[in-house]
Amino acid sequence: MFKGFPGYATLTPIEAEKLHAALQDAFQSYAGEDGVIRLPTRAFVVTGRRL
């Protein structure tokens, strides 16, 4: 997922490993027993009409 971000490409292998470990720790609390990560998010929906 992060490989598309420009800053990710500049990470050294050690930095990338540290990032992966930190993300894994952060996401673990959102993982269900099935291993699926469900992140709470907000969605903003806007509608409009032309006058």
Q: Each residue of 2-40: pLDDT tens digit?
A: 667 788 888 999 999 999 899 888 888 888 899 898 888
3-state class (DSSP) for residue 27: helix
> Which phi and psi angles does 46 have, rounded to 5°?
-125, 135
For the chain, the domain total comes to 1
Print the domain residue range for 48.
Answer: 1-51
Residue 1 pLDDT: 62
- The tokens for 18 are 């540290």
Query: Does the pTM of the predicted model rise above 0.75?
Result: no
Residue 21 pLDDT: 93
Return the C-alpha torsion angle 9, 13, 16, 18, nearest 10: -160
Contact 19, 2 (CB under 8 A): yes
